[in-house]
């Protein structure tokens, strides 16, 4: 099993410790501290349950002892695929307590993606819900997985199961629980948005990640009185740490779980639990704003801070939000690899509406470079690169991606094109890579093209992003058929059958006879995508 590493050069690590960024806490040590301070305060509300801090920790310890009793060993990886249910927290704090390493999959992922995560992380366990909040039957994944993933030794399911280990049955001798891990060790693996090919795995340490949400708490006014609504999937980095459920638990606040992100589900929870803060992607925020303006019987007045990020919020959309909601607005531009930028709550209105904010930590180093790697003149757009106390230095087990994504002196190439305003805020202008940001879900064009090419009737395929009024961007696949042209709907159904997340199935399929090529013949994939996108937009504009 490949060891998990995430190391900063000694001199930088020393600087981050001296500055007080890294304090030597671990995930379970902070939970233990909160239990000591206020055992009876409510930590988690969801699925008809209310768990105090003491109860959360007790449930996590029970699960932790159970994981070890099953033969899982500290350092083993466990792919966790749970929705916004309380067991998510019992499971992940249980894994932390046992020294096991969660690999965070999203509920939308299907067999193909889960297989990739298990293989890439050499996971020993898969932990999912027998039935998802959307009704999906995850036992189908659980059954198919072991064949493709020889490292897998245990499958644990939340809910009814006779074939696999029921999560609730986990228990064991608390004396077997190990000492807290080294705070500089890898605590978990996040999934990258994936700009090229399959998702990469992002190793985050206790020190770096805890710092990230502690810094966020300070900028988002999160305290022990905060009530955070998890509307986006709990396993995503944004609702986890910006400042998210982890920031809220760290502060001793309350986390409320919304099983679905729509207003009908979320609004009653806001009213009933006096939710003070939440985070949404732009399309959802606009949907909430629309529902609120249309008039709702639910009292939303407790909502104090709304964070919007994951994809670009246009100034005009920000103004619409501002008009419809009476809470404070904060833009967040972050990435699972690290760097998080926020507009500050007391920034002038124009900066909150028109920029994506500035780095949250004085330790964040940001470069804006031209195509040749030289700094652009101040205010001009360029490639954003970053390095700092909570930005990774390498992906797990991926030399090719690491060579592409990091400079020799350890800067991460974000792939985003930004410019900096005179006040120091970043404005996201676009990106260099070929992914589709579909309502905050990142889709690799290359990954989807590879799927399409596996279809018998597809000779060639190019996937591009197209601006979309509601989603921000949607995906469009241009397909050259081999023989009789496949129907778009049939192709989409076939894609779904390949066991991939629904959000990756192309929104639109356009059958073409050929791709435009230059007189010189071959052009790059990137150039081809750009031309096809331009052609589609021109056709649409022409009606
Ligand atoms: C968040 O994380 P990821 O890893 O799913 O995606 C990161 C990418 C960024 O590189 C950028 O391309 C895009 O998502 N992005 C934004 C944005 N926030 C993220 N693009 C424009 N405006 C924004 N406000 O998406 C994420 C992680 C933590 C906090 C917030 C978002």
Q: 379: CA distance to ligand 1 center in Å?
A: 21
Which pLDDT value is given to residue 68? 98
Alpha carbon 305 to its chain centroid, in Å, reads 20
Q: Determine the 3-state secondary structure of 159 from DSSP.
A: coil
Q: 217: CA distance to ligand 1 center in Å?
A: 18
- Closest Cα to atom 5 of ligand 1: 193
Position in ligand 1 atom list of the atom nearest CA 307: 30
Q: 231: CA distance to ligand 1 center in Å?
A: 16
Closest CA to 257 of 232, 230, 291: 230
Any ligand 1 atom below 6 A from CB of 354: no
Instruction: Provide the β-strand partners of residue 438.
Output: 441
Which pLDDT value is given to residue 518? 59
Which pLDDT value is given to residue 523? 76
Whether residue 183 contacts residue 211, with contact meaning beta carbons closer than 8 Å, is answered with no
Any ligand 1 atom below 6 A from CB of 414: yes
Whether residue 387 contacts residue 410, with contact meaning beta carbons closer than 8 Å, is answered with yes
For a mutational test of ligand 1's pocket, the pick from 193, 310, 385, i.e. the residue with the most ligand atoms closer than 8 A to its C-beta, is 310
Which pLDDT value is given to residue 396? 97
Q: What pairing do the DSSP bridges indicate for beta strands 186-191 and 201-205?
A: antiparallel
Q: 442: CA distance to ligand 1 center in Å?
A: 9
- Closest Cα to atom 30 of ligand 1: 334
Run of H or E including 114: helix 111-121
Position in ligand 1 atom list of the atom nearest CA 336: 4
Any ligand 1 atom below 6 A from CB of 413: no
Q: 310: CA distance to ligand 1 center in Å?
A: 4
φ, ψ dihedrals at 87, nearest 5°: -60, -25
For a mutational test of ligand 1's pocket, the pick from 189, 204, 335, 432, i.e. the residue with the most ligand atoms closer than 8 A to its C-beta, is 335
Which pLDDT value is given to residue 434? 83
Any ligand 1 atom below 6 A from CB of 104: no
Any ligand 1 atom below 6 A from CB of 311: yes
* pTM of structure: 0.96
Residue pLDDT tens, the chain, 543 long:
999 999 999 999 999 999 999 999 999 999 999 999 999 999 999 999 999 999 999 999 999 999 999 999 999 999 999 999 999 999 999 999 999 999 999 999 999 999 999 999 999 999 999 999 989 999 999 999 999 999 999 999 999 999 999 999 999 999 999 999 999 999 999 999 766 778 999 999 999 999 999 999 999 999 999 999 999 999 999 999 999 999 999 999 999 999 999 999 999 999 999 999 999 999 999 999 999 999 999 999 999 999 999 999 999 999 999 989 889 999 999 999 999 999 999 999 999 999 999 999 999 999 999 999 999 999 999 999 999 999 999 999 999 999 999 999 999 999 999 999 999 999 999 988 789 999 999 999 999 999 999 999 999 999 999 999 999 999 999 999 999 999 999 999 999 999 999 999 999 999 999 887 655 667 788 888 888 899 889 988 888
Closest CA to 101 of 111, 112, 113, 92: 92
Q: 392: CA distance to ligand 1 center in Å?
A: 15
Q: 334: CA distance to ligand 1 center in Å?
A: 4
End-to-end CA distance of the chain: 56
From CA 207, how far away is CA 186, in angstroms rounded? 9
Strands (E), 399-501: 412-420, 426-431, 435-438, 441-444, 458-468, 472-481
Any ligand 1 atom below 6 A from CB of 233: no
Instruction: Provide the β-strand partners of residue 335.
Output: 338
All domains in the chain, ordered by first residue: 26-39+53-206 (3.40.50.980), 435-541 (3.30.300.30)
Q: 311: CA distance to ligand 1 center in Å?
A: 6
φ, ψ dihedrals at 348, nearest 5°: -60, 145
Q: What pairing do the DSSP bridges indicate for beta strands 77-81 and 101-104?
A: parallel
Q: 237: CA distance to ligand 1 center in Å?
A: 9
Any ligand 1 atom below 6 A from CB of 312: yes
Which pLDDT value is given to residue 481? 96
Which pLDDT value is given to residue 519? 58
Any ligand 1 atom below 6 A from CB of 441: no
Any ligand 1 atom below 6 A from CB of 426: no
- Closest Cα to atom 19 of ligand 1: 310
């Amino acid at each position: 099993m490949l060891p998990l590493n995430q190391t900063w050069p000694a001199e930088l690590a020393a600087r981050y410790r001296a500055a007080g960024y890294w304090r030597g806490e671990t995930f379970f040590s902070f939970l233990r501290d909160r239990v000591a301070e206020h055992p009876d305060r409510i930590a988690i509300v969801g699925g008809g349950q209310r768990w105090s801090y003491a109860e959360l920790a007790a449930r996590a310890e029970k699960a932790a002892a159970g994981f070890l009793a099953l033969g899982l060993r500290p350092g083993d990886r466990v792919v966790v695929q749970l929705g916004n249910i309380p067991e998510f927290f019992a499971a992940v704090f249980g894994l932390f307590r046992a020294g096991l390493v969660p690999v965070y999959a999203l509920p939308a992922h299907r067999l193909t993606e889960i297989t990739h995560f298990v293989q890439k992380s050499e996971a020993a366990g898969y932990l999912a819900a027998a039935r998802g909040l959307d009704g999906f039957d995850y036992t189908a994944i659980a059954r198919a997985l072991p064949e493709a993933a020889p490292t897998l030794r245990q499958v644990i399911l939340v809910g009814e199961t006779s074939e696999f280990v029921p999560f609730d049955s986990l228990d064991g001798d608390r004396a077997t629980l190990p000492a807290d891990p080294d705070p500089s060790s890898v605590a978990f693996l996040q999934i990258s948005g994936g700009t090229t090919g399959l998702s990469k795995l992002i190793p985050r340490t206790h020190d770096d990640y805890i710092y990230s949400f502690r810094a966020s708490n300070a900028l988002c006014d999160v305290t022990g009185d905060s009530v955070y609504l998890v509307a986006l999937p709990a396993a995503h980095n944004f609702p986890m740490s910006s400042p998210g459920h982890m920031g809220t638990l760290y502060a001793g606040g309350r986390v409320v779980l919304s099983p679905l992100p729509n207003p009908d589900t979320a609004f009653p929870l806001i009213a009933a639990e006096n939710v003070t803060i939440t985070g949404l992607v732009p399309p959802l925020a606009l949907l909430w704003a629309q529902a609120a303006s249309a008039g709702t019987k639910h009292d939303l007045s407790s909502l104090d801070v709304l964070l919007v990020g994951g994809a670009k919020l246009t100034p005009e959309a920000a103004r619409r939000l501002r008009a419809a909601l009476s809470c404070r607005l904060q833009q967040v531009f972050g990435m699972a690899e690290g760097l998080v930028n926020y507009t500050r709550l007391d920034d002038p209105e124009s900066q909150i509406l028109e920029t994506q904010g500035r780095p949250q930590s004085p330790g964040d180093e940001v470069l804006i470079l031209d195509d040749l790697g030289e700094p652009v003149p101040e205010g001009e757009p360029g490639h954003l690169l970053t390095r700092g106390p909570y930005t990774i230095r390498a992906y797990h087990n991926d030399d090719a991606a690491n060579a592409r994504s990091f400079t020799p002196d350890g800067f991460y190439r974000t792939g985003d094109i930004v410019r900096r305003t005179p006040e120091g805020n970043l404005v996201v202008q676009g990106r260099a890579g070929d992914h589709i940001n579909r309502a905050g879900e990142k889709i690799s064009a290359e990954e989807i093209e590879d799927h399409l090419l596996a279809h018998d009737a597809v000779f060639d395929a190019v996937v591009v992003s197209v601006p979309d009024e509601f989603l921000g961007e949607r995906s469009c696949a241009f397909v050259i058929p081999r023989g009789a042209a496949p129907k778009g709907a049939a192709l989409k159904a076939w894609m779904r059958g390949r066991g991939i997340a629904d959000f990756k199935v192309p929104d639109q399929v356009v059958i073409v006879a050929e791709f435009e090529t230059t007189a010189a013949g071959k052009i790059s994939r990137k150039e081809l995508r750009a031309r096809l996108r331009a052609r589609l937009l021109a056709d649409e504009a022409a009606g």
